[in-house]
Structure 1
Amino acid sequence: MPNNDDYNVKRIQQMLLEMARGNFFFSLEPSAKNDNVASLIVMLNMVNEEIRASFVHQGFAQSGDTPQYLVQLSLLLDADGTIEMANQKTCSLLSRLPKDLIGKPITELLSKSSRKLWAKQWRRLLKKEQSDAVVPLELTTGDGLIVRKEFNLTTFRTLQGSTKKILMDTVLFSKGEPFGKGLWKHALKVSKGTESPKVRLSQKDIRMIRDVHDMIINNLDRDLPRLRELALQMGTNEFKLKYGFKQLYGTTIFKFLTQERLRKAKTLTMHTSLSLKTIAHMTGFKSIPHFSRAFKEKYGQPPSSLRK
């Protein structure tokens, strides 16, 4: 793939256009150079990833912007790794016509770094009659952008039993149309099970919980106070804070803190040259072993494996 300044500037321009359209699916392949353009690519990837993650999280609290639709990216491969089928969303997302995909080896779509991982995983998948694996891969678009996602790889045989196939698919969030007006005219009811007392969240309560969310995001390097103390600071009670947060964001406050620390740590590991010790400190982990253990539990591999 070309890696000169003109080509990189065109990729940056295309990336900015996609972001302006509200499309945060893409990223840019890092430049081999160490100059201002390369630095801009790194920063743009980081900003895009932060916006994409924030968009998904904020959507749960700001229902008018909730991601309501899922984009399914699916490819069917034969035993040689040749693409036999691609759904319409895949063609659209990769900016390629069906004829540009069907009959082509999947390696033509993969970034350089993903080809090595693919070769390793491909041999492992073919050894089994039936298998499922989740592999982080980078697909390149016709415009030179990157779709970076974890793909499900499912190996199976056809009805005749003589031909082996692999289904390669993933799901991405897409911003849907706003919900109807007047959604917040009624308070949101939150309950834990059928026998627990119910809590009614007003618009003020929802704004308060979103403030807690933002406080966590902006202070990942610091430990949270106890929930009772945090609730008092925010002018509410512990029960309403706990269950209100879980209703809006689908998880507990401390689990959310951990997943956001790991998400930021992954971004810094992939897109900066900071040491893992510095990254661990910046994201609130007390030690490298604690950081590595939590990272591997979340992503299935230690942070050092993301360094190229």
Structure 2
Amino acid sequence: MASQNNNQIATAIFQMLFELATGNYRFRKEMPAEENLFTKEIELLNHFANLWEEKIIHLHFPTPFYSFQSSIQHTVIINTKGQIQYLSPSFAFHLNYKPIELKETPIYQLLHKNSTDLLHNEINQLSESTIIHLIFVTTDNLYLPHFCSLLKLYPSELISINLITTMFQNIEDNNHLTTNPPAEPDDTILFNKIYNFISKNTEEQLPSTKEIAKQFGVNESKLKQGFKAHFNTSIYQCYNDIRLKKAFDLIQNTTLQIKEIAYSCGFNDYVTFSKAFKKKFGFAPANLKRPE
């Protein structure tokens, strides 16, 4: 049991290292209730993240709104017709198939309908390595979103598809990062504090912009305009996206009931949550594959 717990903590530390490497210095690992094998490492990483956040803010660099991981999880190789030629066994098991069942199977049969045309078009014009977002479908009709790298294997006509992450909203939402940071370093500090306030209070209803402005000693107009300048999104949209990202992670990585997750992420009822989730990700919360 202790070994299993240590493995889980090690995995969480590995995730934190990825997050830090991709610029997300807000990520923190909660300290365990009791001292364990990784207590010192967790403490050091959290301390480093705190120092890094302070330095970056004072260098007048806006907090990244999203981050991404880039570890390859599974690989499948197809021909130009989309038929599977080779695959890592883990790819088949990931979709609840046996490896032998997928040999020569058109990969399009394993994709959500929204992904089939996308992959077909990319294959037809593929000249160099590229990354696209695909949604795979398991045997029990659950959806598995992944970013995938596509690479043509010269001199053959085979194409390698590497599934590199399930946190699919992160990369495509990098356009939230501003390319023209505001001129005042003090403003950068202020709006990062406001962002932190929003991200740490997703279990409650978001206060009005008037209340937030009063709390941080800024007028409401500057609050709205400054936040938009830093993050290319409104305060409410930022709050909503953070809640939905948190819900996505909890659904995919815990066994909590989805309704319980919805309430813990600040939604008053499941129907509202389900509609917002589907609008954001393109499918219902119940369609995500969950831990056994």
Task: Tell me the TM-score normalised to structure 2 length.
Answer: 0.54
- SS of the residue 1:219 aligns to: coil
1:263–1:244 distance in 2 versus 1, CA, 3 Å: same
Rounded Cα–Cα distance in structure 2 between residues aligned with 1:117 and 1:233: 57
Task: Check whether the contact 2:278–2:284 (CA below 8 A) recurs between aligned residues.
Answer: yes
* Residue identity opposite 1:78 in structure 2: I
Instruction: Report Cα offsets for 1:209-237 as digits up to 9, x if no partner.
Output: 12211211121122222223321221112
Instruction: Report Cα offsets for 1:87-133 as digits up to 9, x if no partner.
Output: xxxxxxxxxxxxxxxxxx32324373435599698242798792467
Rounded Cα–Cα distance in structure 2 between residues aligned with 1:17 and 1:276: 26
2:106 is the counterpart of 1:107: no
State the match for 1:243 in structure 2. 225
* TM alignment of 1:194-233, pairs within 5 A: 200-203=183-186, 205-233=187-215
* Residue identity opposite 1:243 in structure 2: Q
* Residue identity opposite 1:114 in structure 2: L
Task: Tell me the TM-score normalised to structure 1 length.
Answer: 0.52
State the match for 1:23 in structure 2. 18
1:262–1:117 distance in 2 versus 1, CA, 3 Å: farther
Q: CA deviation at 1:159?
A: 11
Rounded Cα–Cα distance in structure 1 between residues aligned with 2:273 and 2:106: 26
Rounded Cα–Cα distance in structure 2 between residues aligned with 1:24 and 1:262: 19
* Residue identity opposite 2:84 in structure 1: G
* TM alignment of 1:81-96, pairs within 5 A: 81-82=84-85
Q: 2:262 aligns with which of 280, 298, 301?
A: 280
Rounded Cα–Cα distance in structure 1 between residues aligned with 2:250 and 2:93: 21
Q: 1:268 aligns with which of 250, 253, 256?
A: 250
State the match for 1:124 in structure 2. 109
* Residue identity opposite 2:246 in structure 1: K
Task: Check whether the contact 2:224–2:234 (CA below 8 A) recurs between aligned residues.
Answer: yes
Rounded Cα–Cα distance in structure 2 between residues aligned with 1:279 and 1:16: 20
1:262–1:111 distance in 2 versus 1, CA, 3 Å: farther
1:300–1:153 distance in 2 versus 1, CA, 3 Å: farther
Q: Number of residue pairs matched?
A: 217
State the match for 1:78 in structure 2. 78
Task: Check whether the contact 1:292–1:302 (CA below 8 A) recurs between aligned residues.
Answer: yes
Is 207-216 or 117-126 further displaced after alignment?
A: 117-126
1:242–1:17 distance in 2 versus 1, CA, 3 Å: closer
1:271–1:259 distance in 2 versus 1, CA, 3 Å: same
* TM alignment of 1:45-60, pairs within 5 A: none
- SS of the residue 2:77 aligns to: strand
Rounded Cα–Cα distance in structure 2 between residues aligned with 1:232 and 1:117: 59
Rounded Cα–Cα distance in structure 1 between residues aligned with 2:248 and 2:181: 35
Query: Could you say which structure has the higher strand fraction?
Result: 1
1:247–1:117 distance in 2 versus 1, CA, 3 Å: farther
Rounded Cα–Cα distance in structure 1 between residues aligned with 2:203 and 2:12: 30
1:300–1:159 distance in 2 versus 1, CA, 3 Å: farther
1:169–1:243 distance in 2 versus 1, CA, 3 Å: farther
Which consecutive residues of structure 1, in runs of 5 or more, have no partner in the other structure? 26-46, 83-104, 138-147, 174-187, 191-199
Q: CA deviation at 1:254?
A: 0.9
* TM alignment of 1:130-141, pairs within 5 A: 130-131=120-121, 134-135=133-134
Query: Sequence identity, in percent?
Result: 20
Rounded Cα–Cα distance in structure 2 between residues aligned with 1:307 and 1:75: 19
Q: 1:302 aligns with which of 284, 288, 291?
A: 284
- SS of the residue 2:255 aligns to: coil
- SS of the residue 1:130 aligns to: helix
Q: CA deviation at 1:77?
A: 1.8
* TM alignment of 1:250-261, pairs within 5 A: 250-261=232-243
CA RMSD of aligned residues (A): 4.9
Task: Check whether the contact 1:125–1:131 (CA below 8 A) recurs between aligned residues.
Answer: no
- SS of the residue 1:261 aligns to: helix
- SS of the residue 2:18 aligns to: coil
- SS of the residue 1:301 aligns to: coil
Rounded Cα–Cα distance in structure 2 between residues aligned with 1:290 and 1:117: 38
1:111–1:261 distance in 2 versus 1, CA, 3 Å: farther
Task: Check whether the contact 1:269–1:306 (CA below 8 A) recurs between aligned residues.
Answer: yes
